[in-house]
Structure 1
């Protein structure tokens, strides 16, 4: 079986096949005159991949499970053709692409420990946690999806005015509160201020829950120019699955980050107890200490196309300008603020 780059959505595997010097017709998606490789060259990878699943009597089939978590193949039909060819050629109890499967116990226990950890932090062991358990699970290596924040990137922060007719806040006023006044948030504990930012000015309107006729100051922030870059752990990045000899670690890392990302993205409500934020506060400190990263990026639940960025040390950032805005349009149907 000959495959071409069009058979896959995984960026790493597409690049590898695209570099092939063999040109011909793909026997899977039937495209002509493409770089091609024999699927047998990836047999070891597929063996390593399929080893992470076990057959079950019911549930999601392996084709959909791989596609749902990774979008590894270009489409479900291609996935079925390739898996039905590969599975009989490797050592597995899984029959075909439509066999129901579940992850092996090692993977389930690894990302499932996040729920155990959350309960422990909230109700049992808050300050004397067994960090060695997390290191044994490999969590210190699971936050390597990082991007470089450079001085060229502009980020945004907003504050709603409590009275109309006031001037915009000063640049100094747009930073996080001083530590004595810093309340606990989704990422920071009480007394330890982090700087919460967004990647576009529209998202900040959602994050501060701006309403019709609200006046607010929107500030622009940039990394100070004497820093070439800082690393930010990215909970929004799609991780390529094609990482031979690291497939299991890649799967465990992605599933764990997805669980944590869901909790990070939950909107804060006025009546929420700060106890609910302790697990994500802990994981941010774990990331800061064990990865050396300067912050995190995660999806905004209030504005799906936007991203939130939390900078652990706000002294890294410059507030460059503050503009006064007034919300003059409000689309109730789509809940969009303009």
Structure 2
């Protein structure tokens, strides 16, 4: 089995090729070998897509400017107006998606506040069921599979691709001045959207208490209420 999946052991350089091609060669298509890797990722996650139900509560935060003591309301803390969205981890520039977090702490962490910052935190509720790709869940092998079966080999190969793409594009923050860092994750997200996926759930690297969700259709979540909180401290651990 090891020989059959050995070609997947050096995926890092392979995914760098995806990034380099989208940056410098063609923004909207990939060579066949690179596209096949993306297709494996999309097909596998489409098969394991989940539905998050109507009524689910999520959170979004925005740092208040100096002197603003009241909370931002719906039009100022929701998805940006049509055509004005800047490039994000999952959305291409100009395309408005709604990024929300599973809890307040994660939403606040995602805006990278400092001690003393005033933060508007808004509550959003899903108005209908949403079909999403879940990059947080652990998709394990069925117990009934033979250890040397072709299905196991395919799943292990897929798993390497999944973990590599997740770590490379959907979990690692980009440098603030790199306008093209998220081209691969944007490209993959657009492919998933074409397949009928309505959002992506992905880990937060800024909070251990929750995760993030990007909704391709912002109107599926309704603004409910917002409040202002004052950040009392920021903590980092390191070695």
TM-score (norm 1): 0.62
Structure 1 residue 312, shift from structure 2 partner: 0.8
Contiguous gaps of at least 5 residues in structure 2? none
Which of 86, 98, 103 matches 1:195?
Answer: 98
Counterpart of 1:98 in structure 2 is none
Larger radius of gyration: 1
> Which runs of structure 1 show a deviation greater than 6 angstroms over 4 or more consecutive aligned residues?
109-112
Give runs of aligned pairs for residues 148-187 of structure 1, distance below 5 A: 148-187=51-90
Q: Distance in 2 between matches of 1:239 and 1:158?
A: 30
Larger mean Cα displacement after TM superposition, 230-239 or 171-180:
171-180
Counterpart of 2:176 in structure 1 is 270
Structure 1 residue 140, shift from structure 2 partner: 3.8
CA contact (8 A) 2:5 2:157 kept: no
Cα 1:131–1:325, aligned 2, differ >3 Å: closer, same or farther? farther
Counterpart of 1:141 in structure 2 is 43
Structure 1 residue 241, shift from structure 2 partner: 1.7
Counterpart of 1:304 in structure 2 is 208
Counterpart of 1:123 in structure 2 is 24
Deviation track 1:296-325 (CA, whole Å, cap 9, x = no partner) reads 111111113321111111011111111121
TM-score (norm 2): 0.85
Deviation track 1:196-228 (CA, whole Å, cap 9, x = no partner) reads 11111001111101111111111111111xx2x
Structure 1 residue 108, shift from structure 2 partner: 4.3
Contiguous gaps of at least 5 residues in structure 1? 1-50, 55-101
Query: Does 1:238 find its partner at 2:144?
Result: no
Q: Distance in 2 between matches of 1:131 and 1:222?
A: 40
Q: Distance in 1 between matches of 2:217 and 2:32?
A: 23
Query: Does 1:209 find its partner at 2:112?
Result: yes
Q: Distance in 2 between matches of 1:333 and 1:311?
A: 29
Deviation track 1:126-178 (CA, whole Å, cap 9, x = no partner) reads 13434796358634412133221112321110011012343111122221111
Structure 1 residue 112, shift from structure 2 partner: 6.3
Structure 1 residue 233, shift from structure 2 partner: 0.4
Give runs of aligned pairs for residues 93-104 of structure 1, distance below 5 A: 103-104=5-6
CA contact (8 A) 1:145 1:237 kept: no
Structure 1 residue 264, shift from structure 2 partner: 1.6
CA contact (8 A) 1:182 1:190 kept: yes
Q: Distance in 2 between matches of 1:121 and 1:161?
A: 35
- SS of 2:180's equivalent in the other structure is helix
Q: Distance in 2 between matches of 1:289 and 1:110?
A: 25
Query: Does 1:259 find its partner at 2:164?
Result: yes
Structure 1 residue 247, shift from structure 2 partner: 1.6
Q: Distance in 2 between matches of 1:140 and 1:203?
A: 26
Larger mean Cα displacement after TM superposition, 209-218 or 137-146:
137-146
- SS of 2:170's equivalent in the other structure is helix
Q: CA RMSD in A?
A: 2.5
Counterpart of 1:315 in structure 2 is 219
Q: Distance in 2 between matches of 1:135 and 1:268?
A: 25
